[in-house]
Structure 1
Amino acid sequence: MFHPLRVREVERLTDDSVAVTLTVPADLRETFRHTPGQHIALRRIVDGEEIRRTYSICAPATQDPLDPELRVGIRLVDGGEYSTYALKELAVGDTIEVMAPTGRFVLEPRPGHFAAIVGGSGITPVLSIAATLMAKEPGARFCLIRSDRTAASTMFLEEVADLKDRYPDRFQLVTVLSREEQQAGLPSGRLDEERLTELLPALLPVADVDGWFLCGPFGLVQGAERALRGLGVARNRIHEEIFHVDQGTGTGTAGVAAVAAPAHSTLTATLDGRSGKWPVQDGESLLETVLRSRADAPYACKGGVCGTCRAFLVSGEVRMDRNYALEQEETDAGYVLACQSHPATPEVELDFDR
């Protein structure tokens, strides 16, 4: 369900990014209370066409409970309809439609040593995670390794510097610029698998880190995961979120075996306590099948990235084209992405409420 929220502030961060703060009315405060690392889906209608995009919440989950802050970071994407609108047209006082926070790239504050490797706008959810952790848990430490093109293109520069100044003994910051030399710190260049394999053991005790959070471009996240696995980090300590994947980039992790599609298939789906049964049309995803009759079916990116359309596979088999959102533990437990799932048996049943 989408809710109309008023824009309180639009802050220019860099030439191609803004932070948008939304006012949450009293009756929706609990609905929009977030866990650090979650995202929200924004929607607008243009010439009768619905446009949805997800953006991570950058605000810490420590604000006044009577006036919760809902703030997201938006970076301009080439050809991106919503990001172009946000940077060039969105103004204070405008109203936009917003879905409640969701996502499992999260860290509930607890004692321990945590680290993140982020690239570009991947800093957005990690800023919320780190700021909340530092404020709420004095027994926690956090190492942020961030990669950006140049200093001028770096989002939330001041907010991250403030964390470093406020928690000098518990917050470690390592910055790498791929297209610009720094006066101090690491040499410029991309953070690929080879470089991270060499760099990480020199920065912190890799084996003692309780949780790794990887966020940013597909190549950076995949390279960081390979480096960590090569250094002996268990898969269940690595958490990933990818903001955007080009259509020609890999296939992700399917998590469900690919099998031939049946000639005819029927989908049964439960959503908000109501069930329905519909024939699956040739070539359409299971999400598209549901949307033909239930416009309230949850989705945002339709690209296997955001995880908004996650559903439990009650019975039958499906083929997932791409999966960049679900952890291995989730697919093992029976969850699929409806936007990427196609029937592999004559009968398939999904539960969006689990």
Structure 2
Amino acid sequence: MARFHTLPVAAVDRLTDDSVALTLTVPPELREAYRYAPGQHLALRRQADGTELRRTYSICAPAPEPGGDGPRTLRVGVRLVDGGAFSTYALKEVNPGDELEVMTPAGRFTLDPAPGLYAAVVGGSGITPVLSIVSTLLAREPEARFCLIRSDRTTASTMFLEEVADLKDRYPERLQLVTVLSREEQQAGLPSGRLDRERLTGLLPSLLPVAEVAGWFLCGPYGLVQGAEQALNGLGVPRTRVHEEIFHVDAQASVRARTDAPAHSSVTARLDGRGGTWPVQDGESLLDTVLRNRPDAPYACKGGVCGTCRAFLVSGEIRMDRNFALEPEETEAGYVLACQSHPVTEKVELDFDR
């Protein structure tokens, strides 16, 4: 089960005018709990004006070696979001020596290092988890290669510019770096403009042998990820080779049509080895029902993006409003996002422990 622990802030590094990297110190007794796979994220929690805020941020550092004692530090990238309560706090108030409440790592946007060719299409802060994936893969697997295609507005707004350049210098033959700026012309390289479906359909085959790529990692704003997915589908890439993590989803994106819920319904949930059954109040999600009775239920974004609240649907039927976190094979296997799930039958049973 995911758990929160208080970790001290070791460093706050300014990346751009609107982004920082936070480095957190992990004490020896918690290093195993915070062992992570490349591409996973952390949920940070704080209280503000009597309200609990949780936000997820991807780990950008290489993953610890298997069999070691776990990470001594954790590093996440935070970009300022307009009106974002937590990102504003992170950029303007957090200092070295402060303490933050941090959930143990979660997420399935990951890569187990293996030989082969891999590729990523990322936009903006979508570089954060992919930076961990690329650096881990190239360090551990000498027979692996990676093509990183990144889109940013301008050079000045590009997160982890130096870190990616250092990787390119370290692995010049195994890392192919392609940068596209949407609001700034480059002296060399690709012309400026957005990376949409049409442009990617023409660009990708000219950069690498698309059919030979063992895994594609798409991360960033909803429009970019959807356009890249559609381009890969049109190029004949099997869906099983495509992995997605979406940032900054519009509130109305892909919300499914609502259906009438039963007049009286209940959810039975198993969590950390203990179960219970509770009535679902009108309009609330199954996660909210569980949280009213089990505050330790796992969640972070409540927006259908991070996947922290993933649960197995044991019985009953549900309707999910949105899903930007679960792969098709996960939903086919019976997993749901509790934060987006509403009962369709009078009785629903979830298992958070599977």
| Pairwise TM-score range, normalised by the shorter structure | over 0.9
Per-residue deviation at 1:246? 1.5
Q: Distance in 2 between matches of 1:137 and 1:69?
A: 23
Kept in 1, the 8 Å contact 2:268–2:276? The answer is: yes
Kept in 1, the 8 Å contact 2:269–2:350? The answer is: yes
AA paired with 1:281? Q
Kept in 1, the 8 Å contact 2:115–2:141? The answer is: yes
Check if 1:85 corresponds to 2:83: no
Name the counterpart of 1:103.
107
AA paired with 2:24? L
Q: Give the alignment of 1:185-264 within 5 angstroms.
A: 185-251=189-255, 260-264=260-264
Q: Would the alpha carbon gap of residues 109 and 320 (structure 1) be closer, same or farther in structure 2, given more than 3 Å must change?
A: same
What whole-Å deviation, never above 9, does each CA across 1:94-153 have from its counterpart, x for those lacking one? 000000000000001111110000000000000000000000000100000000000000
Q: Distance in 2 between matches of 1:158 and 1:132?
A: 17
Pick aligned residue for 1:163 from 167, 174, 183 = 167
TM-score computed with the length of structure 2 as normaliser: 0.97
What whole-Å deviation, never above 9, does each CA across 1:23-50 have from its counterpart, x for those lacking one? 0000000011110000010000012110
What whole-Å deviation, never above 9, does each CA across 1:179-202 have from its counterpart, x for those lacking one? 000011000000000000000000
Name the counterpart of 2:316.
316
Q: Distance in 2 between matches of 1:221 and 1:199?
A: 15
How well do the aligned residues superpose, as a CA RMSD in angstroms? 1.2
Name the counterpart of 2:42.
40
Q: Distance in 1 between matches of 2:71 and 2:296?
A: 28
Kept in 1, the 8 Å contact 2:261–2:343? The answer is: yes
AA paired with 1:108? D
Per-residue deviation at 1:67? 5.1
Secondary structure of residue in 2 paired with 1:210: strand
Q: Give the alignment of 1:55-70 within 5 angstroms.
A: 55-62=57-64, 65=69, 68-70=72-74
Per-residue deviation at 1:260? 3.7
Secondary structure of residue in 1 paired with 2:132: helix
Q: Distance in 2 between matches of 1:194 and 1:222?
A: 12
Secondary structure of residue in 1 paired with 2:139: helix
AA paired with 1:144? L
Per-residue deviation at 1:215? 0.1
Name the counterpart of 2:8.
6
Kept in 2, the 8 Å contact 1:213–1:238? The answer is: yes
What whole-Å deviation, never above 9, does each CA across 1:34-93 have from its counterpart, x for those lacking one? 100000100000121100000000010147846532000000000000000000000000
Name the counterpart of 1:15.
17
Q: Distance in 2 between matches of 1:313 and 1:261?
A: 17
Q: Distance in 2 between matches of 1:283 and 1:40?
A: 29
What whole-Å deviation, never above 9, does each CA across 1:192-240 have from its counterpart, x for those lacking one? 0000000000000000000000000000000000000000000000000
The answer for unaligned runs of 5 or more in structure 1 is none
Q: Give the alignment of 1:272-311 within 5 angstroms.
A: 272-311=272-311
Q: Distance in 1 between matches of 2:273 and 2:332?
A: 24
Check if 1:173 corresponds to 2:168: no
Per-residue deviation at 1:248? 2.2
Kept in 2, the 8 Å contact 1:19–1:72? The answer is: yes
AA paired with 1:11? D
Q: Distance in 2 between matches of 1:149 and 1:62?
A: 32
AA paired with 1:52? R
Pick aligned residue for 1:54 from 53, 56, 78 = 56
Q: Distance in 1 between matches of 2:111 and 2:51?
A: 35
Secondary structure of residue in 2 paired with 1:292: helix
**Shift >2 Å, 4+ stretches:** 62-69, 248-251, 257-260
Per-residue deviation at 1:160? 0.4
Q: Would the alpha carbon gap of residues 173 and 7 (structure 1) be closer, same or farther in structure 2, given more than 3 Å must change?
A: same
Pick aligned residue for 1:153 from 154, 157, 167 = 157
How many residues are treated as equivalent by the alignment? Answer: 350
What whole-Å deviation, never above 9, does each CA across 1:157-176 have from its counterpart, x for those lacking one? 01100111111111000000
Secondary structure of residue in 1 paired with 2:82: coil
TM-score computed with the length of structure 1 as normaliser: 0.97
Identity %: 76
Check if 1:183 corresponds to 2:180: no
